[in-house]
Amino acid sequence: MSDQFDVVVIGAGPAGYVAAIKAAQLGLKAACIEKWVDTSGKQKLGGTCLNVGCIPSKALLESSEQFAKAKHEFADHGISTTEVSMDVAAMMARKNKIVNNLTTGVAGLFKGNGVTSIEGMGRILSPTQVEVKNHKGELSTVDAKNIIIATGSVPIEIPPTPLAEGVIVDSEGALAFESVPKRLGVIGAGVIGLELGSVWARLGSEVVVLEAQDKFLASADQRIAKEAFKSFTKQKLDIRLGARVTGSDVKGQEVVVKYQDKEGDKEITFDKLIVCVGRRPYTKDLIAPGVDVKLDERGFVYVDDQCRTTIPNIYAVGDVVRGPMLAHKGSEEGIMVAELIAGKKAKMNYETIPNVIYTHPEIAWVGKTEEELKAEGVAYKAGSFPFAAVGRAMAANDTTGLVKILADAETDRILGMHVFGLHASELIAQGVIAMEFASSAEDLALTCFAHPTLSEAVHEAALAVENHAIHMVNRKK
Ligand code: FAD
Ligand code: NAD
């Protein structure tokens, strides 16, 4: 006889493991099926995010930033060092330790909350039954009153640059280089390209990023994107826009990449090439024939705004469904679905999901960009404030960037906040909270912010919406 659960979650990434924990906390009998195992057959929880995504990339970003600071900035503070060097193996070991702490932490959370963790590949046989094939090939089934699909996403591969062991890699490979490549190519100036390009550039690689689009960071506010482009170029990230990759030729330990831009056909040689042109939803072998869970035209599991699929007791959350591919978006969907299954009212606010790009400085935003508001014909006011005028940013030796706030012209309600600057990933939470509470720009302007802090730029940007910034000569009268 198979086990019966109130909720069976397939996939233990940040969408799935959070859904399983929340369901258990709400008193439901929950199980989570995860197929990822290490070479010894030990199950690995945490999905892309913890194993090969958010966490390891941020660990390397942090290490490389410390290295760059020691090399280029310590002298400004009057600190002298002898030759600064980088031990890539030690940097990777630190990253692996952090990953291990967090993934084993999820196992502990499962245990502590009473979630049954099942190792293996899950396949939905019917709306109430899931088959599990473990890494040894053994089959079992679990009965489920409700199923949550949380199978995530995988990198997109493109025909001109098929992966080639050790030379052409995806983001996972780029998190595990054994040494600093001299010439590093990156295809795609998106989030991964900029983050991993930054890591290796700081460690000494000559980085060239080939981006097909003519516009840099097309989905970001374009004032921020322009400032960021200037700053990254200064950091020696050679970002080539309008560059369409047409082919590649691996020759021993290097690769020749062919691409076209407006000047014509070009070639460039790299020691390593990272392909990061987006990710696609992963549903391979997930749904048995006859089970009517529909996919949309792009291969995402089709869901409504409460993550219900086309079968009433089957839900789907995270990267495998529409919306931004972000860990926190998936986790919030997981919580919403667990609450719905437990009979609670739950709804997610998709308008206030923050986006962060962990470059230096960081880029972060929430809500609408100025370009989106223009396209939608919304009348708005804008206020911005540069970090160059913020004492704390000067003290930190990091004055690049600005905060920009967009508010409705009539109601003053905040419609978007955009930050390019030190700790933008932390500052953006202020915009998220303000928008979640339907705050006006004036509400923020009337709030007392601690001095000296980077947050003062948020305060001044809110004041600047009505042209009342204190530490800036107001241009409009
Ligand atoms: P995943 O994390 O992909 O987890 C899905 C899990 O399901 C996997 O463990 C997989 O093995 C398992 N699975 C799949 N099919 C089956 C099956 N049939 N049976 C059993 N198990 C199955 N997002 C951020 O918000 N912030 C960041 O800083 C950030 N950085 C990133 C950096 C990199 C390099 C990458 C690649 C991604 C990054 N992301 C970041 C994106 C983030 O990792 C994803 O949005 C997030 O992991 C999605 O969570 P998920 O649970 O939907 O899917
Ligand atoms: P992305 O969508 O952010 O960027 C891909 C880039 O590649 C785009 O600019 C696109 O125009 C370009 N591109 C596509 N095809 C190309 C081609 N043939 N030649 C040249 N350029 C091409 O995708 P990504 O960087 O791979 O990241 C995948 C997902 O992971 C993203 O959706 C992102 O949300 C998530 N992620 C998030 C974070 C974060 O939150 N900080 C970090 C990493 C990844």
Q: pLDDT tens-digit profile of 62-83? A: 999 999 999 999 999 999 999 9
Token pair for residue 378? 């919304």
Q: Give the distance, in angstroms, between the CA of residue 166 and the centroid of all CA atoms in the same chain.
A: 24
Catalytic residue among 77, 360, 423, 451, which? 451
Cβ of 258 less than 6 Å from ligand 1: no
- Residue carrying structure tokens 């014909």: 377
Give yes or no for residue 196 CB within 6 A of ligand 2: no
List 104's β-bridge partners, or say none.
Answer: none
Q: What pLDDT shows up at residue 383?
A: 98
User: Cis peptide before 361, with omega less than 30 degrees from 0?
Assistant: yes
What is the distance between the alpha carbons of residues 393 and 391, in angstroms, rounded to a whole number?
A: 5
Q: Which CATH number does the domain 3-155+280-348 belong to among 3.30.70.1230, 3.40.50.300, 3.50.50.60, 3.40.50.970?
A: 3.50.50.60
Instruction: Please tell me the predicted confidence (pLDDT) of residue 3.
Output: 80
Q: What is the mean pLDDT of the chain?
A: 97
Looking at the CA of 356, name the nearest ligand.
2
Is 121 a residue whose pLDDT tops 90?
Answer: yes
Distant-in-sequence, close-in-space partners of 3: CB < 8 Å, separation ≥ 6: 31, 116, 142, 143
Distance 153 CA to ligand 2 centre (A): 13
DSSP symbols for 302-360:
P--TT-B-SSTTEEE-GGGSSS---HHHHHHHHHHHHHHHTT------GGG--EEE-SS
Which architecture, in CATH terms, is 168-277? 3-Layer(bba) Sandwich (3.50)
Cβ within 8 Å of residue 462, ≥6 positions away: 383, 405, 441, 442, 444, 445, 447
Q: Which residue, judged by its Cα, is nearest atom 38 of ligand 2?
A: 191
First to last CA, the chain: 78
- d(Cα 15, Cα 28) in Å, to the nearest integer? 17
Distance (Å, rounded) from C-alpha 345 to C-alpha 347?
Answer: 7
Element (H, E) at 126: strand 121-126
User: For 388-445, what is each residue's pLDDT tens digit?
Assistant: 999 999 999 999 999 999 999 999 999 999 999 999 999 999 999 999 999 999 999 9
Q: From CA 246, how far away is CA 427, in angstroms rounded?
A: 40
Query: Tell me, what DSSP letter sits at residue 51?
Result: H
What is the four-CA torsion angle of 250, 255, 259, 264, rounded to 10 degrees? -100
Fold match, 168-277 / 352-464: no
* SS3 label, residue 29: coil
Residues in the chain: 477
- As a whole-number percent, the residues of the chain with pLDDT over 70 amount to 99
What residue ranges do the domains of the chain occupy?
3-155+280-348, 168-277, 352-464
Smallest Cα–Cα separation from 406: which of 462, 324, 459?
Answer: 462
Q: How do residues 319-360 score in pLDDT, each as one tens digit? A: 999 999 999 999 999 999 999 999 999 999 999 999 999 999
Task: Output the residue whose Cα is nearest ligand 1's atom 11.
Answer: 36
Confidence of residue 473 (pLDDT cuts 50, 70, 90): confident
| Helix ranges restricted to H, 165-221 | 171-174, 191-202
| Nearest of 446, 338, 442 to residue 20 by alpha carbon | 338
d(CA 245, CA 187): 8
> Is position 451 annotated as part of the catalytic site?
yes
Ligand 2 and 188: CB distance under 6 A: yes
The best mutation among 34, 49, 123, 286 to test binding of ligand 1, ranked by most ligand atoms within 8 Å of the C-beta, falls on 49
Residue with tokens 């983050």: 195
pLDDT, one tens digit per residue, over 18-65 is 999 999 999 999 999 999 999 999 999 999 999 999 999 999 999 999
In angstroms, the CA 128 to CA 377 distance is: 47
Q: Is the CB of 55 within 6 Å of ligand 2?
A: no
| Whether residue 96 has pLDDT greater than 60 | yes
What pLDDT, on the 0 to 100 scale, is given for residue 2? 67
- The CA distances from residue 384 to 129, 366, 372, 375, 414, in Å, are 54, 15, 17, 21, 13
Q: Is ligand 1 within 6 A of the CB of residue 53?
A: yes
Distance of alpha carbon 177 from the chain centroid: 21
Kindly report, residue by residue over 207-252, the tens digit of the pLDDT.
999 999 999 999 999 999 999 999 999 998 999 999 999 999 999 9
424 near 401, Cβ under 8 Å?
A: yes
Q: So what CATH class is 352-464?
A: alpha beta
Buried residues in 362-398 as b, exposed as e (16+ CB within 10 A):
bbbbbbbbbbebeeeeeebbbbbbbbebbebbeeeeb
Mutation test of ligand 2: which of 211, 277, 282, 322 has the most ligand atoms closer than 8 Å to its C-beta?
277
Does 326 sit in the ligand 1 pocket, CB within 6 Å?
Answer: yes
Q: What is the DSSP string of 369-393?
A: -HHHHHHHT--EEEEEEEGGG-HHH
What's the pLDDT band for 446 if we cut at 50, 70, 90?
Answer: very high
> Would the pLDDT of 476 be above 80?
no
Residue 329 beta carbon below 6 angstroms from any ligand 2 atom: no
Residue type, 42: K
Tens digit of pLDDT for each residue in 259-311? 999 999 999 999 999 999 999 999 999 999 999 999 999 999 999 999 999 99
